[in-house]
Structure 1
C-alpha cells in the first residue's frame, strides 16, 4: 500500500456467495489550504501528495505566478494540510480575482480563478507538435499501465505529460485538475517546456481543462473520456488538439486534427 490509500473493513456482496467481510483499499481525501504571502487563498480537496507541485502548478495555471523568479519559497506542513507560498510579485489583485470565481464541474476543486470566457481572449496555442494515431493509442496504454492506485481503488484520475513517444511525468489524484496542476507545477519548478508536449488523462474534457491548457501552452489533450460542447468550441478557438474516447485502439478527434498524421 502507499500513502495515497488506506485499508478499511467493508461488507462485500457477491450475487453467488452473498455477504462477506473483507479489507478494502480506499483512496485518501484531505483538505489542503494554500496560503500566499500570509493570506489564505483557497482550500483544495486532494489526495495529499506532491503538494509543492500542486501549489506551484495551481498558482502558475491561474496566473499568480508568471516566471520562476516570481516564486520565493514553498513550505509544506503535511500534518496540518497547509502550504505556505511566498511570492515576490505583487498579488494585491488576488481578492479581486476571488470575487470573480466561478463554480466549475471539476472534482477535487470547486472554484477557478477566472471567467470561462477569459479563455476566448487568450492567445491561441502555437506549437509544431505532430504525432501519429499510433502515438495517441500507445500513450493511453502507457497511462493505464502506470495506474496502480486506480486499479486498487478506482478512486483517482490519472494524468501524464508526454512526448509522442514516451511518458515523462505521471500523477494521479481524486481531482483531475489537481493531477494536471501537479504536472504543471513540476514543469514550472523544473523549467520543462509544455509547448511540445501532450497531456494524457482519464478525466472528462471540459471548458476549465481547456482554459488551464491554454494558459500554460499545452497544444494537445488526450483522454479516454468524452468532451463537452464548450470544451470543443474553446479547443477550436485556442488552437488546441482535443482527442477523446481513446479506447481499444480507437479515438475521436474533436478539434485540431491537423496535428495528427493521417499517412
Structure 2
C-alpha cells in the first residue's frame, strides 16, 4: 500500500488561566477533545462544567483554557513531572502511588473475545489518519449498542486523552463503554482509563507489568494483542467471555 502523506507533529502550548502549563507534540486534530481529556486525566478539572472557555490559537500554537475556579500552577508543579514513553512523548503529573488512590472501577458490562476482535477490526478500518499515513495511533470507545467513536494522534496517550475528552463532552457514562487503543498499555495509559472509569481496556499490542498490576488493583479488565488470531486476557475481573478455541485465541 502506498501512503499519500506523512504523519503530522504539531507543538502546542497549553495555557490554563493565563499560565503556561507545558508544550506537547500533537496531531492538529480534535484539539478541544484533547484539552478536556488531558486536563481531566491530570485532575485539573473534574468535568467539562469546570471550564469557562477553550480557545485554539493555531497561528501561535496555543490552547487557551479558562477554568471556573482558581488554578495554582505552582502547587500543581510540586508533583513530579513524568515523561511517558513512546512516540509523541507526553507528560503526566501522576505517579504510581497517586494512581493507586483512584476509586476502583465498577461496571456490569461483559463482552466476548470474538466481539472484541470484531470491534478492533471496525476500529482499524475507521482510522482515516492511519490509513492515510501509516504512522498514527488511535483510541476508540465502543458503547453498549456497539457504535464506535475514534480519535487519532501521533502519540498513543494523546489519542486516549482525545477520546476521553470526547466522551466527557458528550456526557457518556464510563460504565457503558469499552476503550480500545493501538498503543501499548503502560501505567500512565491505564491511569487515564481508570480515572475516567473504563472497566474494559484493550489494545492491539502489549500491556506492561506495571499496568497489569495497577489494573488488578483498580478492577480494570485488560486485554492485549487483539489482532488476527492472537488475543490475551491479562486480568481476571470476569468481564470477558472466552468464546474462542485455543487455536484462534492463543495462550489465554
Query: Which residue number corresponds to residue 250 of structure 2?
Result: none
Question: Aligned pair 1:41/2:11, yes or no?
Answer: no
* Shift in alpha-carbon separation, 1:132–1:96, aligned structure 2, 3 A: same
The count of corresponding residues between Structure 1 and Structure 2 is 241
Query: Which residue number corresponds to residue 96 of structure 1?
Result: 75
Is the 8 Å Cα contact of residues 157 and 203 (structure 1) preserved in structure 2? yes
* Shift in alpha-carbon separation, 1:23–1:188, aligned structure 2, 3 A: closer
Kindly indicate which of the two structures has a greater share of residues assigned to strand: 1
Is the 8 Å Cα contact of residues 219 and 237 (structure 2) preserved in structure 1? no
5+ residue gaps, structure 2: 244-252
Query: Which residue number corresponds to residue 18 of structure 1?
Result: none
5+ residue gaps, structure 1: 1-21
In the TM superposition, what whole-angstrom CA distance separates every residue of 1:190-216 from its partner, at most 9, and x where no partner exists?
211122211111100101011111111
Is the 8 Å Cα contact of residues 220 and 237 (structure 2) preserved in structure 1? no
Query: Which residue number corresponds to residue 146 of structure 1?
Result: 126
Quote the RMSD (CA, aligned, Å).
Answer: 1.8
Q: Give the TM-score normalised by the residue count of structure 1.
A: 0.86
Q: Structure 1 residue runs of 4+, over 3 Å off? A: none
In the TM superposition, what whole-angstrom CA distance separates every residue of 1:130-160 from its partner, at most 9, and x where no partner exists?
1112211101111111123223322110111
Question: Aligned pair 1:220/2:187, yes or no?
Answer: no
Question: Aligned pair 1:58/2:34, yes or no?
Answer: no
Is the 8 Å Cα contact of residues 77 and 83 (structure 1) preserved in structure 2? yes
Query: Which residue number corresponds to residue 221 of structure 2?
Result: 241
Query: Which residue number corresponds to residue 9 of structure 2?
Result: 29
| Cα distance in 2 for residues equivalent to 1:252 and 1:105 | 22
Aligned-partner SS, 1:214: helix
In the TM superposition, what whole-angstrom CA distance separates every residue of 1:22-68 from its partner, at most 9, and x where no partner exists?
99511111101111001111211011111111111100111011133
* Shift in alpha-carbon separation, 1:167–1:176, aligned structure 2, 3 A: farther
| Cα distance in 1 for residues equivalent to 2:187 and 2:77 | 19
Query: Which residue number corresponds to residue 87 of structure 1?
Result: 67
Aligned-partner SS, 1:56: helix
Q: Give the TM-score normalised by the residue count of structure 2.
A: 0.90
